[in-house]
Amino acid sequence: MLPYQIIEKKSYGKALTPEEIAFFVNGYTRDDIPDYQMSALLMAIFINGMTNEETLALTKVMLESGDRLDFAAADGFVADKHSTGGVGDKVSLILAPVLAALDIKIPMISGRGLGHTGGTLDKLESIPGFNVNLSGDDFQKMVLTNGVSLIGQTKNICPADKKLYALRDVTATVRSIPLISASIMSKKIAEGIQGLVLDVKTGSGAFMPSYDDSKALAESLVAIGKLYGIQTTALITDMNQPLGRKIGNWLEVEESIAGLQGNGPEDLMMVTLALGAEILQMADPQLSAEDAHKTQLAVIENGAALEKFMTTTRLHGGDTKVLEKPDNHSRATHRVDYPAPRSGSLQTIDTMQLGFLGIELDAGRRKTSDKIDPDTGFVIHKRLGEKVQTNEPLITIHANKKPALDSVMSQMEKVFKIGDEPAHTPTLIYEKIG
């Protein structure tokens, strides 16, 4: 087998065999195949796609490139939730403690902000002292004893995916359904879970903005999970506007605490509870959807979920004083409203653009080595379909640097479209797959 011939085969749109995929990916992981050959193959896959069999073979080789966690010793159902990425998406911060408070074991391996989207790890690190870099062993122990732990991908989990992902990120080959599917699912299968619910975002702030692509991605993810014997479902949820009102690392932790105290914004809580209900119903097939919602609300109301978040933070080395009293946390120096330039109703929000403006405020990264400012971001005041008056605040920009504030302020008119037509309120949860 020659790398050249495998690239050529895919460049003509032919399906690769599992042996060819394993040869190429393993050779690349071992540094036998150079970056420039892998990037040619990635682009051929990006454009010509992969069959389900190829995607499955790619998932398998990435999974088998590293360790798999084993929760056979776990007392209870082991599950995870994964989102394809959005703006203001802090669901994991609420859902993980809620489910752990209900005796579900949650070994959550999360990511950092990517492109215009935020990342759970960056949000957690806005809590002073919170350490997301545990070893696989410590992670496994915390999940067994505490019910939940949240960490980053260790060097032993899917190393092939880690190396491939870095290359995709600089060669414009990220937005590919087979490549995304194999990347997500290899890591999730490595977690050793029994159940998985996927939050596949669609709309102006999603990586896959079109509904058809989002649905195809959801179907691909669910099919792989099931083939690996994991109970898997996906909800396609709206990302035509940020989820919740707050965007930015600490701002999102703050809103998550509110959510765990029963004061979260309606859209955020609806998505969170719907995803949680999926997992609770996998753990107990007798449970009705209604009861699955109620039982989650109960651990929010009685404080058990918030307490689980506090304990988990402490176990990760985090300082819970800022969680108990969010005013104890630092705040951005500049907090300036962007006023509506006209009256009308809010037609569209360019959510991806808003995410990129967050990067200008250092709420996200331009390049891997950039340092995040935990305090910056946005608080949005209007939702799609709502009426606005001229000069009414649409969004508040939280910035620490004046030039960045000015730049973001000047670009904000590209984000919000206000019109005279009666505006559309998007559906929040479109469809369940699986």
Positions touching a second copy (CB under 8 A) are 4-5, 7-8, 11, 34-44, 46-48, 167, 170-173
Tell me the closest approach of the beta carbon of residue 43 to a second copy, in angstroms: 4
82 flagged as catalytic? yes
Write the CA distances from 172 to 58, 115, 169, integer angstroms.
19, 11, 6
* AA letter at 237: T
* The one catalytic residue among 126, 183, 186, 204: 183
Nearer to a second copy, 115 or 326 (CB): 115
342 flagged as catalytic? no
* The one catalytic residue among 161, 238, 373, 375: 161
Helix and strand totals (H; E) in the chain? 17, 13
398 flagged as catalytic? no
* The one catalytic residue among 10, 60, 82, 116: 82
161 flagged as catalytic? yes
Tell me the closest approach of the beta carbon of residue 429 to a second copy, in angstroms: 30
* The one catalytic residue among 105, 162, 187, 188: 187
Nearer to a second copy, 134 or 164 (CB): 164
Nearer to a second copy, 48 or 407 (CB): 48
DSSP state of 158: -
Tell me the closest approach of the beta carbon of residue 326 to a second copy, in angstroms: 37
* The one catalytic residue among 90, 168, 382, 398: 168
Distance CA 119, CA 113 (A): 4
Distance CA 237, CA 169 (A): 25
Tell me the closest approach of the beta carbon of residue 369 to a second copy, in angstroms: 16
With beta carbons less than 8 A apart as the criterion, state whether 281 and 287 touch.
yes
Would you report the helix, strand and coil content of the chain in percent, each value rounded to 5?
45, 15, 35
Nearer to a second copy, 35 or 319 (CB): 35
424 flagged as catalytic? no
Choose among 236, 151, 227: nearest CA to 182: 227
Q: Where are the alpha helices (H) located in 316-350, listed in sequence order? A: 321-324
Write the CA distances from 129 to 268, 324, 327, 400, integer angstroms.
26, 15, 17, 21
Nearer to a second copy, 7 or 143 (CB): 7
Q: Which residues are catalytic?
A: 82, 161, 168, 183, 187
